Amino acid sequence: MSAIQPPAQRIWWKQPLDKVELVWIVIAFAWCLVMFFMMPYWHVFGKQNLSSETYRARPEMFARAAEEMVAKWKVREETEAKIPVVAPPAGADVYLIARLWDWWPILELEEGKTYRLNLMSMDYQHGFSLQPENINVQVLPGYQHVVTVTPNRAGTYGIVCNEFCGAGHHKMVSKLYVVKK
């Protein structure tokens, strides 16, 4: 028998299965079922994937909401660019703007409290990556991405743009503070 020559019996699917073939088909099918049901299980019970909402939005309206949030809950300024640090109350809508090449403002959240984190790009596609938690959201202009977050450990977290956005992409970093109260 040769692999180059056509099979002697052209209707191969009507041939009886060997026991080993049947075992491997059953194993593969069982593994597919396990993986299929694990995806929704981990999404609901594993708390690994963030459930997010996405809405079409106008950048000027989003920027206005972010500026109102900063005016209401600003606690200090940081960096030489004087980026405001905002400490909103628990349950608040928190706005974070992505634009060439920074995140605005810096957020200070309370440990164990839940917030609605609203993300939007003002110019190009950016990536919101919260490190070391490995939370990633693709942030697009014209779309408001809303992620419900509950920080469970105090500390300083890094926000990194993980979608190439131009010459200053490597400088598009910020912080997110989680404090105990």
Question: What pLDDT score was predicted for residue 25?
Answer: 94
The count of other CB atoms within 10 Å of the CB of residue 107 is: 25
What is the value of pTM for the model shown? 0.72
| DSSP label of 5 | S
Q: How confident is the model at residue 2 (pLDDT cuts 50, 70, 90)?
A: low
What CA–CA distance (Å, rounded) separates 102 from 160? Answer: 9
Q: How much is the pLDDT for 155? A: 93
Closest listed residue to residue 178, CA positions, set 147, 160, 153: 153
Question: For the segment 30-50, what is each residue's pLDDT rounded down to a tens digit?
Answer: 999 999 998 888 777 776 556
pLDDT of residue 141: 93
Give the pLDDT of residue 88: 94
Give the CATH fold of the 52-179 domain. Immunoglobulin-like (2.60.40)
Among all chains, which residue has been given the structure tokens 């593994």?
Answer: 31
